[in-house]
Chain A
Amino acid sequence: EIVMTQSPATQSASPGERATLSCRASHNVNNKLAWYQQKSGQVPRLLIYGASTRATGVPARFSGSGSGTEFTLTISSLQSEDFAVYYCQQYDNWPRTFGQGTKVEIK
């Protein structure tokens, strides 16, 4: 099983600041990496797939990068609606696995 490790567990930032979230896979996932956003009390929302492709309707301030085992989700300028928990997920191997999440909170 591929273990996905996200860091940090919590990131405190102010609106307008840049946020950088990391996701590390225990084995190469061949860029088959997705990112989701989950706000409190809501279902997860797909943000990024293929490590760097934004899903439909996702603002350009969200960008994904990385390859192999190291991936990053960057939010270029945090908006109030971006404070949420973010999860990475690999879909290269069975079973599919999620990271434990990074909470982006208001400083």
Chain B
Amino acid sequence: QVQLVQSGAEVKKPGSSVKVSCQASGGTFNTYAVSWVRQAPGQGLEWVGAFSPIFGTTNYAQNIRDRVTISADESTTTVYLELSGLRFEDTAVYYCARDHIPAGASRYFDLWGRGTLVIVSS
């Protein structure tokens, strides 16, 4: 049974960068696309971007694409989200989420990590 294990909470200064990881415990992402979804305190869900191992492609939300990079290690057991130029409004819980079925390019998500809280504070 694959579980998504995310890295711990981070506190960062405005303008700095953060890198959050998501490890597939008990398996690999293999051919499953992985998305990152964030949720600011008391707010709704916001799709940030996705990585598709089978296509080797990434896609990003328009409002963040110039500051975000999603990558994976060679074995595709861990996927990373790196966000640069941090702003106060980037404060959120960042979830990784795996596609329901393999061989896609990020569709809908049935397996979620527990989230990583990123706080941007001066």
Contact = CB atoms under 8 A, between A and B. Distances in A.
B62 interface: yes
B60 A87 contact: no
Contacts of A85: 44
Interface in B68-98: 95, 97
A49 interface: yes
A62 interface: no
Given A89-B47, A101-B44, A95 B61 contact: yes
Contact of B95 (A32, A34, A43): A43
The B interface is mostly helix, strand or loop, or mixed, namely: strand
Contacts of A49: 100, 107-108
B35 A46 contact: no
Nearest to A101: B44
Interface string B107-118: 111101111000
B46 interface: yes
A2 B45 CA distance: 15
A83 interface: no
B113 A43 contact: yes
A99 interface: yes
A95 B44 contact: no
In this complex, which of A34, A38, A43, A94 has the most chain B Cβ atoms within 10 angstroms of its Cβ? Answer: A43
A43 to B, nearest CB: 4
Q: Which 4 A-B pairs have the closest CB atoms?
A: A34-B108, A43-B112, A91-B107, A96-B47
Interface of A: 1, 32, 34, 36, 38, 43-44, 46, 49, 55-56, 85, 87, 89, 91, 94-101
